[in-house]
């Protein structure tokens, strides 16, 4: 069954594997030069406060040095969509196409039980999906290492090099999380195909559910995988977004992921409007609302995940997605075992 799965898989995987290999080659060719740019920049000899400036200079220059911005964005885009593509084009047809083209009657009447047929198909294709995503995400993480270091030093103000490791997109394209996404998307596609029994509708359902998961998890689930920390700080003009009084950085916690923040007035009520007394302070002296608000008794409350929780959050999210993938696989076994014809 392993050989037969490979025979069928080979037909449909060659184009995708070629595209992946091409991208890895691009990373391999441009990566060493990126590393040498980093090594020869002012970051190498920086200490204390000069590091942020050096990192800012490095990233500003990189943002206008072809091909780094485009490879950076292409890479993260590719890692974000690969699990979805796997789910849609390898998961959804796995069972649905056998039913649609009636070949299940051929496949399931060979001298091999259906459970074994499905186990081999799921395991081989699923592991291949995870391996492909792992190669992609690891090579990209290696390639982007100088950039993430510079962002970590506080130099990330120029697009596209802005987000820290815990920001939604960077988190989803680094570490081991993409493996979890790939396993989940593949199993989701397969289960959708087994339940709907038609390839194209199963593909559409896979796309919708996976997209919804990718949007809601960073917004709703990831912030609470570990109970977030809270902090009440003094108002610091440099760390405040005056439009709605949210915090832009957590004082003393570089790289922390801010989940929510608000200003508290002297009575302790949350507010998003600049007090009238301080409104006049804007305009000419843009930085002065901070001291003004502080003098009125305002403080800033911040809910956040510290940067040190990157790996615990990665593991938890990946484990969650793998558990969902196993549940989906279980659904496939149940459905196929009930003889879908």
Q: Residues interacting with another protein, by CB under 8 A?
A: 1, 3-4, 7-8, 11, 101-106, 108-114, 116, 338-339, 341
Query: What is the helix (H) or strand (E) element at residue 232, kind and residue range?
Result: strand 229-234
Q: Least distance (Å) from another protein to the CB of residue 7?
A: 6
Q: Taking a C-beta distance cutoff of 8 angstroms, is the pair 136, 26 a contact?
A: no
Q: List CB contacts of 234: < 8 A, sequence separation 6 or more.
A: 294, 299, 300
Residue 53 CB, nearest approach to another protein (Å): 59
Q: Closer to another protein at the Cβ: 13 or 258? A: 13
8 or 162: whose CB is closer to another protein? 8
Q: How far is the CB of 191 from another protein (least distance, A)?
A: 20
d(CA 180, CA 202): 20
Where do we find the tokens 């305002």? 298
Query: What is the secondary structure of 172-208 as a DSSP string?
Result: HHSTTHHHHHHHHHHHHHHHHHHHH--HHHHHHHHHH
Closest CA relative to residue 174, chosen from 205, 147, 134, 202: 134
Give the shortest CB-132-to-another protein separation in angstroms. Answer: 21
- CB closer to another protein out of 1 and 35: 1
Nearer to another protein, 118 or 239 (CB): 118
Give 115 or 319: the residue with its C-beta nearer to another protein. Answer: 115
In the complex, the smallest distance separating the C-beta of residue 56 from another protein, rounded to whole angstroms, is 54
Report the SS3 class of residue 297: coil
Residue 106: exposure state from Cβ atoms within 10 A (0-12, 13-18, ≥19)? exposed
Q: Give the other-Cβ count within 10 Å of 19's Cβ.
A: 11
Q: Which is nearer to another protein, 3 or 269 (CB)?
A: 3
- Smallest distance from the beta carbon of 95 to another protein, in angstroms? 14
CB of 116 to another protein, least distance (A): 8
Residue with Cβ nearer another protein (77 or 337):
337
Helix (H) or strand (E) holding 213: helix 199-216
The CA distance from 202 to 194, in Å, is 8
Q: Whole-number minimum distance, CB 12 to another protein, in Å?
A: 8
Q: Is 102 helix (H, G, I), strand (E, B) or coil?
A: coil
* CB nearer to another protein: pick between 102 and 269: 102
Nearer to another protein by C-beta: 269 or 339? 339
Please tell me the distance from the alpha carbon of residue 321 to that of residue 326, in angstroms, as a whole number. Answer: 9
Q: How many CA atoms lie within 13 A of 229 on its CB side?
A: 15
DSSP state of 255: T
CA distance 157 to 304: 20
CB of 229 to another protein, least distance (A): 53
């Amino acid at each position: 069954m392993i050989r037969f799965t490979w025979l069928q898989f080979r037909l449909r995987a060659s184009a995708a594997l070629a595209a992946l290999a091409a991208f890895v080659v691009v990373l391999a060719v441009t990566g060493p030069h990126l590393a040498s740019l980093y090594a020869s920049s002012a970051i190498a000899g920086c200490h204390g406060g000069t590091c942020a400036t050096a990192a800012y200079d490095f990233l500003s220059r990189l943002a206008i040095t072809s091909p780094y911005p485009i490879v950076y964005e292409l890479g993260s885009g590719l890692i974000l969509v690969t699990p979805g593509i796997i789910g849609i084009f390898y998961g959804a047809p796995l069972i649905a196409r056998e039913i649609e083209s009636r070949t299940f009657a051929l496949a399931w009447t060979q001298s091999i039980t259906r459970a074994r047929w499905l186990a081999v198909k799921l395991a081989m294709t699923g592991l291949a999906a995870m391996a492909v995503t792992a190669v992609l995400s690891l090579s990209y993480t290696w390639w982007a290492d100088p950039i993430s270091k510079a962002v970590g030093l506080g130099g990330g103000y120029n697009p596209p090099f802005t987000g820290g490791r815990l920001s939604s997109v960077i988190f989803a394209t680094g570490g081991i999380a993409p493996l979890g996404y790939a396993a989940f998307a593949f199993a989701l596609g397969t289960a959708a195909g087994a339940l709907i029994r038609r390839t194209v509708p199963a593909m559409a359902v896979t796309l919708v559910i996976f997209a919804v998961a990718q949007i809601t998890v960073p917004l709703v689930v990831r912030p609470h995988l570990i109970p977030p920390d809270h902090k009440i700080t003094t108002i610091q003009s440099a760390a405040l977004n005056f439009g709605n009084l949210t915090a832009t950085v957590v004082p003393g916690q570089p790289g922390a992921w801010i989940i929510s923040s608000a200003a508290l007035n002297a009575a302790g009520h949350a507010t998003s409007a600049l007090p009238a007394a301080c409104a006049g302070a804007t305009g000419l002296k843009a930085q002065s609302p901070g001291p003004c608000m502080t003098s009125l008794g305002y403080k800033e409350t911040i809910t956040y995940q510290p940067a040190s929780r990157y790996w615990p959050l990665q593991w938890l999210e990946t484990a969650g997605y793998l558990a969902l993938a196993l549940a989906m696989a279980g659904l496939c076994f149940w459905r196929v075992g009930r003889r879908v014809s």
